[in-house]
C-alpha cells in the first residue's frame, strides 16, 4: 500500500476547506476538478463521470470537451467502473478499447467512486506524458475521493426535519395523532382498526394511516383501495413487498422502507435482493419476475419513462389486469411516501436511516 504523498495530503486538506459544508455533488465535483487541474502537473484532462444505470455520463471536468456517455465495461473509465477498482494505464495505446476523447492523452488514471459497495461514478485523469500516473497517484486520488464523498453525504431528511422542530412527539410527525372523539362513526371505525395491533396496518396510528385520518373521507376511500391492491389483486406477497421497497427507495422514503423491510424478509425476499434495491444495483442475475418489478419501479419513478422492452417484459409476466394493479400499487405507495415526506414522519428514535443517499445515481 503506497503512502499518500505530501502533494496529495496538501490537496486533501485544500479540498476539505474548499468544499466546506457544501453537499451539492455537482458543485463539489466541479470544484474538485478545478483544484486538481491547477494542483497536479502534466494533466490534459481531469473530471468526473457519474453512473446512470448501465452507463457513465460526463460530469464536471477541466480540459477539452469529452465524450458524454461510456457504457460500463467500455474504455478505461467503464473498465474501472465494472471492476470497482482503480485502473492505471501507462500507455493508452496499449489499452484495448481505450476511448480517445483527446488525442493528446498518453496515459490515464481512473478511480471509481464507491459508496456501500456501489459504484457511483469515476474520477478520470489524463496526461499527455506516458506513464504519468503511479500507485502514489492512485492512493492520493482515492483519499481525495473519500473527502469528496464524505462532503456530499446528505443528512437524512428525517434528521433534518427533526432538527427544524415542529415534530409532535406522540405522532412522530408534523401532525398530531388524530383524536377519536373528533371523528364520526365511520372515522372511529377506522381509528379502532388502526389502534388495533392486529388491525392489518404495519404502523397503526403512528404512520400514514394516522396522517390520512386527518381527512376521514380520504381514509374511508383510500383504505379499501390499498387493501385490494395489497391482498386481493392476486399479485402475491413477494411481488407486493418488492414493489413497495422499490417504490420507497425511489422516493428516498426512510419510514416506508423501514416499515416494509421486515415485511419483505418475511415474504422470503433475500437480503441480497434487498441490498440490490437499497443501493440501486443492476438487476442482472435476479429472478426474472423480481427484476421486472424493480426495473419497472426505477424507470417509472427515476427515469420517468418506461422503455418498451421493460414494458413488454412486465406485460408478459403479469398480464394486463395484474400489470395495471402492480403499477397502481406502486403509485399507492408513492402517494404514501408523499404524505410521509410532507408531514416529516420520523423514524423511531433508535432506528438508523436505512436508505443511503445515492448522490448521482438518481435521474
Contact residues for ligand SME, defined by CB under 6 A:
45, 66-67, 70, 75-78, 98-99, 101, 105, 108, 124, 126
Q: Grid coordinates standing for 44?
A: 490534459
Closer residue to ligand SME in complex, CB, 121/208: 121
Angle at 345 (CA atoms; ends 356, 120), nearest 5 degrees = 15
Closer residue to ligand SME in complex, CB, 126/325: 126
Q: Scan for cell 486538506, then name that residue.
A: 13
CB 142 within 8 A of CB 109: no
CB 159 within 8 A of CB 351: no
Q: Residues near 68 by Cβ (< 8 Å), separated by ≥ 6?
A: 57, 58
Smallest gap from residue 98 Cβ to ligand SME (A):
5
Closer residue to ligand SME in complex, CB, 68/218: 68
Closer residue to ligand SME in complex, CB, 71/338: 71
Instruction: Give alpha helix (H) positions in 176-215.
Output: 185-195, 208-212
Pairing of strands 45-52, 118-127: antiparallel
Smallest gap from residue 82 Cβ to ligand SME (A):
11
Smallest gap from residue 20 Cβ to ligand SME (A):
28
Smallest gap from residue 27 Cβ to ligand SME (A):
20
Smallest gap from residue 61 Cβ to ligand SME (A):
7
Q: Grid coordinates standing for 323?
A: 400489470
Alpha-carbon distances of 79 from 72, 95, 320, 328, rounded to whole Å: 7, 11, 40, 39
Smallest gap from residue 131 Cβ to ligand SME (A):
16
Residues across the chain: 363
Give the CB-nearest residue to ligand SME: 75
Smallest gap from residue 47 Cβ to ligand SME (A):
7
Smallest gap from residue 313 Cβ to ligand SME (A):
30
Closer residue to ligand SME in complex, CB, 79/310: 79
Closer residue to ligand SME in complex, CB, 33/118: 33
Rounded to whole angstroms, how far apart are CA atoms 84 and 81? Answer: 5
In the chain, % helix, strand, coil (3-state, to 5) comes to 55, 10, 35
Rounded to whole angstroms, how far apart are CA atoms 101 and 69? Answer: 11
* Strand-pair partners of 52: 55
Q: Grid coordinates standing for 92?
A: 493508452
CB 299 within 8 A of CB 316: no
Amino acid at each position: 500500500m503506497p503512502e499518500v504523498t505530501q502533494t496529495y495530503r496538501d490537496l486533501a486538506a485544500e479540498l476539505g476547506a474548499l468544499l466546506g459544508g457544501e453537499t451539492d455533488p455537482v458543485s463539489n465535483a466541479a470544484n474538485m476538478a478545478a483544484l486538481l487541474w491547477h494542483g497536479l502537473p502534466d494533466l490534459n484532462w481531469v473530471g468526473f463521470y457519474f453512473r446512470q444505470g448501465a452507463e457513465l455520463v460526463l460530469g464536471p471536468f477541466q480540459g477539452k470537451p469529452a465524450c458524454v456517455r461510456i457504457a460500463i465495461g467500455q474504455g478505461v473509465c467503464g473498465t474501472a467502473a465494472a471492476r470497482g477498482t482503480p485502473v492505471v494505464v501507462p500507455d493508452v495505446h496499449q489499452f484495448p478499447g481505450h476511448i480517445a476523447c483527446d488525442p493528446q492523452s498518453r496515459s490515464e488514471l481512473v478511480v471509481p467512486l464507491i459508496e456501500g459497495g456501489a459504484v457511483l461514478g469515476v474520477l478520470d485523469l489524463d496526461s499527455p506524458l506516458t506513464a504519468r500516473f503511479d500507485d502514489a497517484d492512485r492512493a492520493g486520488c482515492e483519499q481525495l475521493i473519500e473527502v469528496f464523498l464524505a462532503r456530499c453525504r446528505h443528512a437524512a431528511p428525517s434528521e433534518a426535519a427533526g432538527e427544524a422542530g415542529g415534530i409532535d412527539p406522540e405522532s412522530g410527525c408534523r401532525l398530531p395523532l388524530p383524536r377519536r372523539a373528533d371523528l364520526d362513526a365511520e372515522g372511529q371505525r377506522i381509528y379502532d382498526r388502526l389502534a388495533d395491533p392486529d388491525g392489518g396496518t404495519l404502523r397503526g396510528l403512528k404512520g400514514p394511516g394516522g396522517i390520512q385520518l386527518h381527512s376521514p373521507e380520504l381514509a374511508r376511500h383510500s383504505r379499501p383501495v390499498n387493501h385490494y391492491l395489497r391482498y386481493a389483486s392476486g399479485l402475491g406477497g413477494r411481488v407486493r413487498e418488492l414493489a413497495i421497497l422499490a417504490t420507497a427507495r425511489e422516493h428516498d422514503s426512510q419510514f416506508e422502507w423501514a416499515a416494509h423491510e421486515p415485511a419483505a424478509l418475511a415474504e422470503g425476499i433475500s437480503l441480497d435482493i434487498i441490498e440490490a434495491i437499497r443501493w440501486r444495483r443492476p438487476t442482472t442475475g435476479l429472478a426474472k419476475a423480481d427484476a421486472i418489478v424493480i426495473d419497472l419501479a426505477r424507470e417509472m419513478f427515476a427515469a420517468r419513462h418506461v422503455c418498451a422492452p421493460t414494458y413488454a417484459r412486465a406485460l408478459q409476466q403479469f398480464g394486463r389486469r395484474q400489470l395495471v394493479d402492480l403499477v397502481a400499487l406502486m403509485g399507492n405507495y408513492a402517494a404514501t411516501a408523499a404524505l410521509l415526506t410532507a408531514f416529516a414522519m420520523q423514524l423511531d428514535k433508535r432506528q438508523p436511516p436505512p436508505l443511503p443517499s445515492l448522490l448521482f445515481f438518481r435521474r
